[in-house]
Amino acid sequence: MTLLEQAGCDVEFPLDQTCCGQPAFNGGFADEARAQARQTLDVLDATEGTIVVPSGSCAAMIIQHTPELMEHDPEYAAKADRVGARTRELTQFLVDDADFDPAAADCGGCTTTYHASCHGLRGLNVLTQPKKLLDDAEIPRVDLEGEDECCGFGGLFSVKMPEVSAAMMDTKIKSIEASGADVVVGVDVSCLMHIGGGLQRRKSNVTTKHIAEVLVEDLT
């Protein structure tokens, strides 16, 4: 909310919002996902203005998959279309819609690198926006080899295929450590949780931060 307020937005946070239904949807539990999606649509459809989501995976669910779930329910199909049309991933909104120019940030000499989450990148075309915000805030950033490659989390994928998930995470972490960065920045908390857990198990000094944290907090 702080970052959006810095961008000049009046922010409303409906307290009745819950999970968008993506975990159930990914697991094949369509009825359960539909019930959660209806709750989300009821809450968000009662609001006005742009709906900003700080997670590429949740934004992609609302924009792309919720309309699919509701296609045979005329009332909620209309709600899904209205809500989806107003929904933006956070960095997408700040750069593409709000033309936000962040204040210079003092990260205490740290260096960042950016991991591109799959849903944001492949579902919503979010790649340049987060890096532009970091650069505009004058936060030191180095390129990450394989930045657009999956970290291996994938929600239920990491549970169903833990060995493959762990191998993909290991590849990602080796690239992160090789970059020389102190902080891995992302736009999806699920990826950062997965990567962060791997870094901790390796006793790495590299930390993870959501881009909103980086842009509003000192990293010292």
Q: What is the pLDDT of residues 95-138, one digit of tens each?
A: 999 999 998 877 778 899 999 999 999 999 999 999 999 999 99
The pLDDT of residue 219: 43
Predicted confidence (pLDDT) per residue in 13-50, tens digit: 999 999 999 999 988 999 999 999 999 999 999 999 99
**Averaged pLDDT, 170-177:** 96
pTM beyond 0.75, yes or no? yes
What's 141's DSSP letter? E
Q: What is the CATH number of domain 112-216?
A: 3.40.50
Mean pLDDT over 182-207 rounds to 95
Which pLDDT score is estimated for 216? 84
The mean predicted confidence, pLDDT, of the chain is 93
Contacts within 8 Å (CB) and 24+ apart, 31-34: 33/69, 34/69, 34/70
pLDDT single digits (tens) 65-85 = 999 999 999 999 999 999 999
Place of tokens 């833990």: 162
Q: CATH 3.40.50 spans which residues of the chain?
A: 112-216
Say what angle helices 162-179 and 189-201 make with each other, to 10 degrees: 80
